Amino acid sequence: MSGGWNTIESDAGVFTFLLNNLGVQNVQFEELLTLEPEALASLHPVYGVIFLFKYPTDTPYTSTDKPLDGTFDHDAAERLWFAAQTIQNACGTQALLSVLMNRSEEVDIGAKLRDFREFTMALPPEFRGEALSNSELIRDVHNSFARSSPFVDETQRTGGETENAFHFVAYAPVDGVLYELDGLQPAPISHGPCAKEAFPERVMEVLQRRIARYELSEIRFNLMAMVGDRRIVARTIGDAEMLAREERKRRDWQFENALRRHNFVGFAGAVLKGVVEAKLKEGGEDAYNKWIEEAKGKTRQRLESRRKGGGGGGGGEDVEMEG
């Protein structure tokens, strides 16, 4: 088993450029903020979706007999590209590939991924997972989108704490059937007949049932659709405004991806050094110490104001969902 797979964020820009860097043409990801089928259908052509959710740690997740929804289709594991997940931190890329590799007749997946698909289709699912984990091409592209993490804070973890875990699964219509492709399950899960044009409605029904199994307070889900390049759609229908919007989105994604990879420790250190030198020049150590005390006072005021206005000051932090 190969190691060295880093965590990447669940983000449409990350996954779109991950595909591009693997050689895939004319495909992108779009984040969906609703489970309305019309929202997904409006992104035609739609090749599949990937769904991020909190992995249950208090109940069994896998079963060899019957999944919580749908039925195992063990025969489909031979004709579909379905891989067992053998490594951590790669479930997002594996879900992405589970859609992509099963729509290769409609999507230009590029020469390198085409060769990888042809090689792995002859293998059983567990060996496909091993082949994926040992693919330097896919691992290197995946890791190129990991955030720079120069510090590791060991003080935040204690032996009694259970860390939240999240997992990606894929859904795609293949050969007239809606399949759930989850590398932690023993086989593809069939959710019944599904024509391509019926996919938005059918998959949203499945996702609604899945979300309903969680507590009402659980909102940490993320849904992204693998769709055709929206710039091509805009050019085809002659929508200049849409084209400009999509081009601007690509530029923003590129900028955000560059920020993710950059290590800002040196920059932050230089800024702090410059500020301290400026304060010392203003009035020596007295001015510097006064500036520090003023900053401490303002911080205490903000904390006190937050406690008074927030009903106890227990505001939770944002949860960043990764895979």
Are residues 121 and 197 both part of a single domain? Answer: yes
Same domain, yes or no, for 184 and 307?
no
H or E stretch covering 159: none
Whether residue 71 is found in the same domain as residue 206: yes
pTM over 0.85, yes/no: no
Minimum mean pLDDT range among 98-112, 173-187, 293-307: 293-307
Please report, for the domain that includes residue 20, its CATH number.
3.40.532.10
Do 197 and 287 lie in a common domain?
no
Identify whether residues 138 and 281 lie together within a single domain: no
Is 91 annotated in the active site? yes
Coil, strand or helix at 173: strand
- Are 277 and 184 members of one domain? no
Task: Decide: residue 35, CB within 10 A, 0-12 exposed, 13-18 middle, 19+ buried.
Answer: middle
Residues 212 and 287 in one domain: no
215 and 98 belong to one structural domain: yes
Is the pLDDT confidence value at 154 over 50? no
pLDDT at 217: 84
Whether residue 247 is predicted with pLDDT greater than 60 in this model: the reply is: yes
Selecting among 44, 74, 167, 262, the annotated active-site residue is 167
Do residue 107 and residue 211 come from a single domain?
A: yes
Peptide bond into 45 cis (omega under 30): yes
Domain count, the chain: 2
CA distance 248 to 93: 25
Which residue among 44, 74, 91, 191 is the active-site one? 91
Domain annotation covers residue 82: yes
Residue with tokens 């059983």: 124
Percent of the chain with pLDDT over 90: 59
The pLDDT tens digits for 124-153 are: 999 999 999 999 999 999 998 887 655 544
Report yes or no on 1 lying in a domain: no
Domain membership of residue 3 (yes or no) is no
Q: Which range of residues forms the domain containing residue 90? A: 12-148+163-228
Q: Which residue has the higher pLDDT, 91 or 193?
A: 193
270 and 219 assigned to the same domain: no
Residue 255 lies in a domain: no
pLDDT, tens only, 179-233: 999 999 999 999 999 999 999 999 999 999 999 988 888 888 999 999 999 999 9
Are residues 47 and 144 both part of a single domain? yes
Give a yes or no: residue 207 inside a domain.
yes
* pLDDT value at 3 more than 60: no
Model confidence pLDDT, tens digit, residues 32-76 = 999 999 999 999 999 999 999 888 766 777 677 889 899 999 999
Average of per-residue pLDDT values in the chain = 86
